[in-house]
Amino acid sequence: MKNKIVTLGIESSCDETAAAVVLDGRKLLSNIISTQIPIHQKYGGVVPEIASRKHITSIMPVIDEALCKAEINLEHIDEIAVTYGPGLQGALLVGLSAAKALAFATDKPLIGVNHLEGHIFANFLSEPSLEPPFVSLVVSGGHTSLVEVEDYNKFSLMGETRDDAAGEAFDKVARVMGLPYPGGPEIDKLAKKGNPMAIDFPKALRNNGDYDFSFSGLKSAVLNYLNQKKLKKEDVNKADVAASFQEAVVEILTEKAMKAMERRRMNTLVLAGGVAANSALGERLKTEAKKRNYRYISPTLNLCTDNAAMIACRGYFQAREGHYSDLYLNAEPGLSLVY
């Protein structure tokens, strides 16, 4: 029985301030990200040093724009979903504070959403026909996990990283190689010109029988390789290093994802998180899934990076099960996927 529920989503966990309006959990009425609105034009786009100051400036314009684009007013909103973690504390608190105050002022219920779950749910917006159950590989800057999504509010964590997240490994290797931040897209770009088979970097925990990951060994291996070359005064083919490193990450992520799919007898694999934008990973997962006749879903680009639509979507489903938050909801920067 559809009731026409309108969810306002608010997201400020990292670099983007975002707001969105979603109807009945799946229909996107608006999806606004602060970089779309020229508030800080004066500084020529995002100036990373003051990114966390940007949130307090952008929060109301972004919410207002989201409502305008959806052609509704606050009074038409039924509930307010907001990211409470993980992320940067100073950033999270802006969206959270605004959301709580809005909930109080409008007497609408508040729903605290886990940003990582939001990434998984971005796929429900990208792909209208998608329904649970499925396995999701979540790869973001700070997290790498394999989650079995049994139902809209029922998850189990199959495996996660024991040390560095994949995104973190990308950033650290990029930094050591002298590439700018963020490292993921830079390595992705550079790797296209290199040979992924040039160097055989280790793929940890490959055959240990579970679905956990470990990337700190890989990171150390790349570091050692670069150091050795430097000591011997030998030239380094950066493109080859990037390609080989990326290959090691992509291979282990794909292998474990396929194993998980088989184990849980699933036929749909869903990719989630900011690293989902990595082309090599997407390609490999798509290819391997196809080989095994699995359905493979990944979010469209605008829903891949941080956004509030995915938060509204996740919030909607949480609310249907009665998982609301009270006005004491606090930011949890270190929140992860624990079930």
In order of 78, 126, 149, 297, 325, the CA distances from 3 in angstroms are 10, 22, 25, 28, 21
Q: Tokens at residue 338, please?
A: 């624990």
Is 47 a binding residue for other proteins by CB under 8 A? The answer is yes
DSSP letter string, 29-92: EEEEEGGGS-TTGGGTS--GGGHHHHHHHHHHHHHHHHHHHTT--GGG--EEEEEEESS-HHHH
| Angle, CA 220 vertex, CA 215 and CA 226 arms, to 5° | 130
Q: State phi, psi for 118 to the nearest 5 degrees.
A: -55, -45
Q: Which residue, among 106, 53, 167, has the nearest Cα to 327 in the 3D structure?
A: 106
β partners of residue 325: 110
Please say whether the beta carbons of 261 and 296 come within 8 A.
no
Contact set for other proteins, span 184-243 (CB under 8 A): 216, 219-220, 223
Handedness of CA 41, 122, 5, 324 (dihedral sign): negative
Q: Hey, which residues does 283 pair with through a beta bridge?
A: none
Of 3, 38, 41, 49, the one binding other proteins by CB under 8 A: 49
Check residue 153 for interaction with other proteins (CB under 8 A).
Answer: no
Dihedral sign, Cα of residue 100, residue 101, residue 102, residue 108: positive
H or E element in which residue 19 lies: strand 18-23
Shortest distance, position 254 Cβ to other proteins, whole Å: 23
> Which of residues 27, 36, 60, 68 is near other proteins by CB under 8 A?
60
The piece of 104-112, 120-128, 131-139, 198-206 that touches other proteins (CB under 8 A) is: 104-112
119 counts as binding other proteins under rule CB under 8 A: no
Nearest-approach distance from CB 47 to other proteins, in angstroms: 5
Comparing CB distances to other proteins, the nearer of 101 and 236 is 101
Per CB under 8 A, 35 contacts other proteins: no
Decide the pairing of beta strands 6-11 and 18-23. antiparallel
Stretch that binds other proteins, among 28-36, 150-158, 167-175, 299-307 (CB under 8 A): 167-175
Answer for which of 29, 96, 158, 289 binds other proteins (CB under 8 A) is 96
Q: Is 105 in the site for other proteins (CB under 8 A)?
A: yes
**How many positions of this chain bind other proteins (CB under 8 A)?**
57
Q: Which of 18, 31, 66, 86 binds other proteins (CB under 8 A)?
A: 86
Of 120-128, 159-167, 295-303, 304-312: span binding other proteins (CB under 8 A): 159-167
Q: Which of 59, 66, 147, 277 binds other proteins (CB under 8 A)?
A: 59
Give 49 or 235: the residue with its C-beta nearer to other proteins: 49
The single residue listed with the structure tokens 């990337």 is 215
One of 6, 20, 63, 204 touching other proteins (CB under 8 A): 63
Note the residues at the interface with other proteins (CB under 8 A).
42-43, 47, 49-50, 52-53, 55-57, 59-61, 63-64, 74, 86-90, 93-106, 141-142, 164-165, 167-168, 171-172, 181, 216, 219-220, 223, 327-331, 333-334, 336, 338
